[in-house]
Structure 1
Amino acid sequence: MEKRLLGKTAIITGSARGIGREYALRMAKLGANVVITDIDLSAGKYKETDIKAKSVKEEVELLGVKSLEFEGDGTDESFVKKVVDDTIDTFGSLDILVNNIGGTGGAGPGLATDMEVEKFRRVIDINLTTTFIFSKHAGKVMKVQKSGKIINVASVAGFVPLFVVQPHYSAGKAAVISLTKTMALELAPYGVTVNAIAPGYISTVKWDAHFEAQIEDLVQKVPLGRIGTTEDCSKVIEFLATDLSDYLTGQTIFVDGGLMELNPSSSKIENYQI
């Protein structure tokens, strides 16, 4: 793999397991120093089948680059500021931010008319507020540098509410897409790009466990005929993190096997109890 990011530094949020781990490893393979952040750095232990070290930090370092790790809540601005400040103190620059923190944080499904406000607010915080705070502090650094790439992880659910029992998650991801466009406008004069990806059905340990009973049905909705992989997503992250995407900003790229664009039944709302 060509070292397109040699000498660069990337912060990957929510990267102790699953798809975030895949992004961290991809950045490292491209030559970037990688900063790992997660609310629980031990979250990925014993869950991934191909783990090669005791932590993602160690996996990254085995690829020949340097790494830092931070455990904390991405909705806590003081924590985020420390991550960004320590990254600059250690590496001298911040070139890439991948806002991967997301999900429902264990809040579970529910109908909007029945959902407690605190449950809704928590999921919005996990998906939107974390993206905003990390982008705010990374964006300040990138403005001064007059360079940088911010990549937000949204979802097809931000465009079409696939599951009626996910109003909090769909709303959060839709807001991430809007924030992507707004910050792209703000940072464009400084040479900083802000883009997003919108994954569809992507196989991870957690996702597979949730949808085990529905996988066959979900595959039928995907024109390419398979569930996506974390590598499918990381390849697009690579495009957005490297010079290949220098003239692209404010965009959201679907990584969904054609689910949204080509499937005429994609707008059908399902009532899966996820």
Structure 2
Amino acid sequence: MEKKLINKVAMVTGAARGIGREYALRLAKLGANIVITDIDLTAGNYKESDISANTVKEELENLGVKALAFQGDGTDEEFVVDVVKSTMNEFGHIDILINNIGGTGGAGPGLATEMSVEKFKKVIDINLTTTFIFSKHVANIMKKQRSGKIINISSVAGDVPLFVVQPHYAAGKAAVISLTKTLALELAQYGITVNAIAPGYISTVKWDAHFSSQVEELVKKVPIGRIGTTEDCAKVIEFLATDLSDYLTGQTIQVDGGLLALNPSSTNTDTYHL
């Protein structure tokens, strides 16, 4: 793999497991020094995980790059400010931001007409507010540099609510797409691009635990004929994080194997996607 990101610094939020970990490892293999955050940095130490060291930070360092790791809540602006300050003290610049924090945070499914305001706000904060806070503080660094790449993680659910019992998650991910466009317009004059990816059905430890019994049925909805992998998403992150995407901004790329192209109006009322 060509080391396209030598001397670059990439911050990846929610990177202690799953897709976020894969993004961090991919960028490290491209030569970038990595900063990861997560609400639980030990989350990768699950028996089901293929983690090759005690922590993701150690995995990254084993790839020959420098790595920093911060444990905390991405909805807490003070935590984010501390992360950005510590990163600048160590490296002096931030070139790439991957806003990967997301999910339902254990809030679970529910119908919009029955869901509590507290539950709805919690999931909006996890998916949207974290993206806003990290983008705000990192973008101000990038503006001074007059360069940078911000990559937000949405979901196909942000385009089409595949599961009606996830109004909080779908709304949050849809808002991430809108925020991506707004930031792209604001930051283009500073040489900063802002794009997003929208994964479909992607196999992770967490996803497999919930959908292992439904894989055969779900695959029928995917024209490519398989469930996606974290590497499928990481390859698109590589494109957006390198000079290959320098003339691309304000876009959301669906990494879904053709799921929405096949049936963009399908909605599942029986189950939910975490």
Q: TM-score, normalised by structure 1?
A: 0.98
Does the Cα contact within 8 Å between 2:49 and 2:205 map onto a contact in 1?
A: no
Structure 2 equivalent of residue 238 of structure 1: 238
SS of 2:218's equivalent in the other structure is helix
Partner of 1:272: 270
User: How far apart are the structure 1 equivalents of 2:270 and 2:55?
Assistant: 34
What residue in structure 2 maps to residue 39 of structure 1? Answer: 39
Distance 1:84 1:145 in 2: 14
The corresponding residue for 1:132 is 132
Aligned 8 A contact 1:17 1:48 in 2: no
- Partner AA of 2:136 in structure 1: K
| Contact 2:75–2:129 under 8 Å retained in 1 | yes
CA RMSD, aligned part only?
Answer: 0.8
Q: Secondary structure at the match of 1:254?
A: strand
| In structure 2, C-alpha distance between the alignment counterparts of 1:48 and 1:129, rounded to whole Å | 30
Amino acid at match of 1:141: I
Secondary structure at the aligned position of 1:102 is classed as coil
Q: Deviations over 1:220-253 (max 9, x none)?
A: 0000000000000000000000001000000000
Contact 1:47 1:205 in 2 (8 A): no
Contact 2:10 2:33 in 1 (8 A): yes
Q: Partners in 2 of 1:179 and 1:78 — Cα distance?
A: 21
1:148 aligned partner: 148
- Residue type matched to 1:225 in 2? G
- Which segments of 5 or more consecutive residues in structure 1 lack a partner in the other structure? none
- Partner of 1:54: helix, strand, or coil? coil
The residue that corresponds to 2:78 in the other structure is 78
Confirm or deny: 8 A CA contact 1:221 1:266 kept in the other structure. no
Gaps of 5+ in 2: none
* Alignment partner, residue 178 of structure 1: 178
Report SS of the residue matched to 1:12.
strand
1:199 and 2:199 aligned = yes
- The Cα of 1:44 is off from its aligned counterpart by 1.3
SS in 2 for 1:196: strand
The one-letter code matched in structure 2 to 1:233 is C
Q: Which amino acid aligns with 1:80?
A: V
Corresponding residue of 1:119 = 119
Which secondary structure state, in structure 2, belongs to the residue aligned with residue 22 of structure 1?
helix
- Equivalent residue number for residue 56 of structure 1: 56
Give the aligned residue type for 1:97. L
Task: Find the counterpart in structure 2 of residue 24 from structure 1.
Answer: 24
1:48 Cα deviation after fit = 4.5
Structure 1 position 266, deviation (Å):
3.5
- Are 1:228 and 2:228 an aligned pair? yes
CA deviation string 1:34-66 (max 9, x = no partner):
001000001110244421100000000000000
How far off is 1:99 after superposition? 0.2
Inter-partner Cα distance in structure 1 for 2:24 and 2:49: 17
Residue deviations 1:161-190 (CA, integer Å, cap 9, x gap): 000100000000000000000000000000
Q: Identity over the aligned pairs, expressed in percent?
A: 75
**Which residue number in structure 2 is paired with residue 68 of structure 1?**
68
In structure 2, the CA distance between the partners of 1:232 and 1:14, relative to structure 1 (3 Å rule), is same
Which digits, 9 at most, give the CA deviation of each residue in 1:39-98, with x for residues without a partner?
000111024442110000000000000000000000000000111111111011000000
Aligned equivalents of 1:179, 1:69: Cα separation in 2: 26
How far apart in 2 are the matches of 1:188 and 1:39? 31
The aligned counterpart of 2:159 is 159
Q: Count the aligned residue pairs.
A: 272
Give the Cα–Cα distance (whole angstroms) in 2 for the partners of residues 219 and 50 of structure 1.
24
CA distance in 1, matches of 2:71, 2:124: 20
Give the whole-Å Cα distance in 1 for the aligned partners of 2:270 and 2:196.
26
Structure 1 SS opposite 2:150: strand
CA contact (8 A) 1:146 1:191 kept: yes
Q: Offset of 1:256 from its aligned partner? A: 0.4
